[in-house]
Every structure is written in C-alpha cells, then in structure tokens.
Amino acid sequence: MVRQVVWARNSMITQEHFKLLAAYNRWANARLYAAALDLSELSYRLQTGVYFGSLHGTLNHLLLTDRLWLKRLTGEGDVPNDLNAILYEDRIELTKARIAEDNRMIEVTGQYDETALRGLHSYRTTSGMPQSQVLADILLHLFNHQTHHRGQAHACLSILTGGEPPPLDLLAFQRGGAAPNLEKLIASKSAEDGRVNSSKEVSGLHRGAATRASR
C-alpha cells in the first residue's frame, strides 16, 4: 500500500519561498565550503564527534542526500543507498560537485508552479517502500535537512578552528551578505597545490643530486 502524507497547510508556502530557500542553500554552502577549503587536510578529516564523524563525512552526506532527493523528484541521477557513503575523497572534486548540485537545485525547484507544489509526488524510500507526499512538504524536508546538517558542519568548523565560523543565518543572506566565489577559490587552491608539488619535486631533485655528489 502506498503511504500518503498530506500537510493541509502547504498552500501557505509559495513558489517564491522555495526559490528563496534554493538560493539561500547555494549561498550558505558557498560560505561553508570556503571555510572548509581553508583548513589543513588533517583538520578537514579529523573526527569531531558529529554524526557522520568529520567535516569531510558530513559534507559528503549532504551532497549524497541532496542527490537522492533530486533523483526522487526528477528520476535522474545515480545515488548509493548507503547514507554514509563518501562520494568524493578529494576536497576540490567535492566542491565542484557541490557547486553543480546547488545550481541544479535552483533549476529543479524553480520549475514548480503553485499547482505542482500542492500535488502529490510518488517515490520509493531507500528500503524500496513506496511513498506519496505533497511536493511542497518534500521540498520543505529537503531544505530543512540541509540546514540540520550544515549546522553540524558549522560546529565542526568551530571545534577545528577555535574561532567563529562564517554566519549562515537566513537573515544574513536576506540582508545581502556576500558569498565567496567557489570557482575562483578552487582554481586558486589547485594552482597553489600545484606550486607546492612542483617545489617538492625540485627539492627532491636537489637532494638527490647532493647525495650523488657526496658519494
């Protein structure tokens, strides 16, 4: 039997609300990821006691579940059923995927009109159980879930740095708070990592030459 969950007050939430939440989601993730990119590799992966272990685990879980729900909504995408799965080990690749998913989130949620939001949407859970819910309720859960785990990631940053992480309040977004350009940040970090690796290679060559000369 298909389980139907209907929230009678969903008509209070309009298309504009979901457009706002999708834009806020991208803004908050940009702030969060910029701070994560600034951490050392050790700190980024350090176990902090949050549910998914580390900042790395939490950010991967958020991306995974966003993809899971977008697949349920659109029928497109390939998502593992294991909610603990690490989709991307590399921080830069994870950031690139996050950028793409946030843009996709804005595109998908922006296409629903008021009639669609009030209608029922059917999908299957990770265990295969059929479900049917009001579309607006599904989107509310999706954005609430993001906020929940972003809070855990925010706590990770506070624990790891001993300082105050960037504010992620919706009010800060509504007041026009700036968000970092993640594309530029990852390009800069990739170039920096390349310079470090080149420096290590040159240093290794020098050490090798010195060793041979001393023989």
Tokens of 31: 């702030």
Within 13 A of 190's CA, how many CA atoms are on the CB side? 12
pLDDT tens for each residue of 103-152: 999 999 999 999 999 999 999 998 899 999 999 999 999 999 999 999 99
Q: State mean pLDDT over 191-215.
A: 60
Tokens of 143: 């954005």
pLDDT tens for each residue of 129-142: 999 999 999 999 99
What is this structure's pTM? 0.84
Angle at which helices 55-74 and 135-161 cross, to 10°: 170
Q: Are 88 and 97 in contact (CB under 8 A)?
A: yes
Taking every pair of C-alpha atoms in the chain, what is the biggest distance, in angstroms? 84
pLDDT tens for each residue of 69-91: 999 999 998 888 788 899 999 99
Q: Residues 6 or more apart from 86 whose CB is under 8 A from it?
A: 56, 57, 60
Q: Please count the residues of the chain.
A: 215
Q: Residues 6 or more apart from 110 whose CB is under 8 A from it?
A: 15, 18, 19, 22
Instruction: Give the pLDDT band (50/70/90) at residue 8.
Output: very low
